[in-house]
Structure formats: C-alpha cells, structure tokens
C-alpha cells in the first residue's frame, strides 16, 4: 500500500488506548510477541516494505524516536524525523494543512506533542493513520508496551494486581484504561490533587474496570504483583518542582515500600529521576523489569503499525 492508496482501506487512528477494542488489543499484543521472537531469532519480518512513517516531535524523546525509527527499519520501511524546527507545526501553517500535506507523502504519522487537541486535529484531517506518540493527556503507545511486559512477566492478565504509585499523569491515565481493557486489578495511589481525571476513570469503568483509588501508597502496594511509577515532574512542569517535591513525599518507590510487597516486580516508563520517585537501588534490583518494558516499546509499536497499515 502507498500513501495514495490508504483511503481505499478502513482508516484507523490510535490516539487513545481504547481506540482498540479488547479483542483488537489482544491481537496487537500477540503480534508484538511474534515480532519479538522473530527479532531475537534473527528472522526477517519486513511486513511494511517500502512504506514510510512520518514522525513529528514537538517533545523530544529517546525511547519513542529510536523505537519507532528502528521498528520501521526492521519492518522493511523507513521513518522520517520531523522536529519542531523542521516543520511549521502550528506556526505559520495550520495543523490541518500539515496533516493533509503529510498524508500525500507518507503511509502513517506518529506525533509526540503537548496538547491532545493537536493530535485530534491531525487525525481529523489526515488520510493516513495517526499514532499518538504522547500528549499531555495520554500515552497509549507506552500502555501497549506496559501490557506486553505484564503479559510476558505474569503469563497473562488473569488475577494480576497492579499498583500505580505517584502522579495521575498521562501515562497513568492511559494505563488505567488499558488495565480495564485487559481486566487487570488496578489500585491507584496519588497525593491529593494529583488524581487521574474523573472522565478517564469513567471510561475505565465503562469498559468494565473498577480501579481502586487511594492516597495511601502502602495500602496500594499490599499484595500487588506489579508496582508502577513515573516521574513526579514531567516536561513542562519544571516551575512546579518545589511544590511537587513536597506534595509527593511518601510516594517514593523504595525498599521500605517494597517491604509491603516483597514479591512484586517494579515498572517505570523511563526516564527515571533516580532519588525522586524511585531509588537507584530499586531500579537496579531484581524487582526491576524497567528495561524489558523499554525494549517492548519497539515490539509493541511494530505490531501496532503493521496492524494499522495492513
């Protein structure tokens, strides 16, 4: 398929994790496992030969850029990096014009931007699939990798308990919905004022999820199979540092917290601010599966792209 042929097939975007149904999500995760086995065995899997992914980056990233670019190469395709200074992203050219122009050149677009509205505008006007590489509201590609990691580590999702400890940020919000899609038992512990948005929790509940909400991290991790955390100060929140560092006291994932869940594995989407939301000792411990999680960004995104473009 070329960019000009894309309108002949059903156009699908991936802006939120629940843009996939529960069964579609399982299909993508199964495909990711297949790709991972193929790569580790040195087997070719060039399912997107000759296709091009445009990658828009308003926010910089290590894992997102390298995993998508490497993934397209391994699938036999090509990726084009488009930084904020490389294109007129909302500066001098409307986003809707960027979407329509790129649709004439590439087979799909991945965009990592600040405002969620921007990814929605791209999707509204594009005639190729748009993939949300991150917005301030959601990080569904991370959730794909998270779920792949849990599926591998736990042998599935049945009777698996996950505790989110920290900020109810974009990663937490996408994960909460992803947990509902896979029937994970989720407990979310955030300080007062940092909870996951009510509308996100409602979406999770509409999908059959029933996340437990608390402000007590010790309560949250009791009997957890997985403890998941992320930074307390995200990109663009640097001016809130002093307030946040005070508000998140007691929410660090450290040896003391792990003593309440001694068999739990620990996840972090990275980059980690070691010594803040998580200690160096925990990241480097046998509890940590953060680098398996990071690797799985590659396999999950390859599966997503091939599913969207097939």
Catalytic residue among 13, 31, 65, 112: 112
Catalytic residue among 39, 51, 58, 142: 142
What is the token pair recorded at 206? 């509409």
- Ligand-binding annotation for 260, yes or no, is no
Q: Does 58 participate in catalysis according to the annotation?
A: no
Q: Does 136 participate in catalysis according to the annotation?
A: no
- Ligand-binding annotation for 241, yes or no, is no
Nearest by Cα to 121 from 96, 102, 87, 103: 96
Catalytic residue among 136, 230, 268, 287: 230
Determine how many CB atoms are found less than 10 A away from the CB of residue 197: 13
- Ligand-binding annotation for 62, yes or no, is yes
- Ligand-binding annotation for 191, yes or no, is no
Q: What is the dihedral of CA 29, 31, 37, 41, to 10 degrees?
A: -150
SS3 109: strand
Catalytic residue among 13, 31, 65, 139: 139
Q: Does 230 participate in catalysis according to the annotation?
A: yes
- Ligand-binding annotation for 149, yes or no, is no
- Ligand-binding annotation for 217, yes or no, is no
CA distances from 123 to 101, 103, 138, 242, 283 (A): 13, 10, 15, 37, 37
- Ligand-binding annotation for 21, yes or no, is no
Q: Which residues contact 297 (CB under 8 A, 6 or more apart)?
A: 63, 64, 67, 141, 142, 145
Nearest by Cα to 303 from 28, 27, 20, 55: 28
- Ligand-binding annotation for 230, yes or no, is yes
Sign of CA dihedral 146, 152, 158, 159: negative
Catalytic residue among 31, 151, 268, 297: 297
Q: Does 26 participate in catalysis according to the annotation?
A: no
Q: Does 237 participate in catalysis according to the annotation?
A: no
Q: What angle (nearest 5°) sits at the alpha carbon of residue 265, between those of residues 219 and 237?
A: 70
- Ligand-binding annotation for 252, yes or no, is no
Distance, in Å, from the CA atom of 148 to the CA atom of 8, rounded to the nearest integer, reads 31
- Ligand-binding annotation for 88, yes or no, is yes
- Ligand-binding annotation for 170, yes or no, is yes
Q: Which residues contact 103 (CB under 8 A, 6 or more apart)?
A: 3, 6, 109, 126, 127, 128
- Ligand-binding annotation for 257, yes or no, is no
Q: Does 269 participate in catalysis according to the annotation?
A: yes
- Ligand-binding annotation for 135, yes or no, is no
Sign of CA dihedral 266, 270, 274, 275: negative
Residue positions in the annotated binding site? 61-64, 88, 112, 139-142, 170, 230, 234-235, 269-270, 297
Residue positions in the annotated binding site for L-ornithine? 170, 230, 234-235
Residue positions in the annotated binding site for carbamoyl phosphate? 61-64, 88, 112, 139-142, 269-270, 297
Q: Return the active site residues.
A: 112, 139, 142, 230, 269, 297
């Amino acid at each position: 398929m070329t960019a000009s042929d894309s309108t002949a097939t059903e156009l699908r975007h991936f802006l939120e994790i629940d843009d996939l149904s529960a069964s579609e999500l399982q299909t993508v995760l199964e495909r990711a496992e297949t790709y991972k086995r193929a790569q580790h065995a040195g087997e070719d899997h060039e399912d997107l030969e000759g296709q091009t992914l445009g990658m828009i980056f308003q926010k910089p990233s290590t894992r997102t850029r390298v995993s998508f670019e490497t993934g397209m190469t391994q699938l036999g395709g090509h990726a084009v990096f488009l930084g904020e200074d490389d294109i007129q992203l909302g500066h001098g050219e409307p986003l809707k014009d960027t979407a329509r122009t790129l649709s004439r050149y590439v087979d799909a677009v991945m965009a990592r931007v600040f405002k969620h509205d921007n990814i929605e505008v791209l999707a509204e006007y594009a005639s190729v699939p748009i993939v949300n590489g991150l917005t301030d509201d959601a990080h569904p590609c991370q959730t794909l990798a998270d779920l792949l990691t849990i599926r591998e580590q736990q042998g599935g999702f049945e009777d698996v308990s996950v505790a989110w400890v920290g900020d109810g940020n974009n990663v937490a919000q996408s994960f909460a919905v992803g947990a509902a899609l896979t029937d994970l038992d989720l407990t979310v512990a955030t300080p007062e004022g940092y909870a996951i948005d009510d509308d996100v929790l409602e979406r999770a509940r509409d999908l059959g999820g029933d996340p437990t909400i608390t402000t007590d991290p010790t309560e949250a991790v009791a009997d957890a199979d997985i403890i998941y955390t992320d930074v307390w100060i995200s990109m663009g929140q640097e001016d809130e540092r002093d307030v946040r560092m005070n508000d998140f006291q007691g929410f660090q994932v450290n040896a003391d917290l792990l003593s309440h869940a001694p068999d739990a594995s620990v996840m972090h989407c990275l980059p980690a601010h070691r010594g803040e939301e998580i200690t160096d000792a925990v990241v480097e411990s046998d509890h940590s599966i953060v680098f398996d999680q990071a690797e799985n960004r590659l396999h999950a995104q390859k599966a997503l792209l091939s599913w969207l473009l097939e």
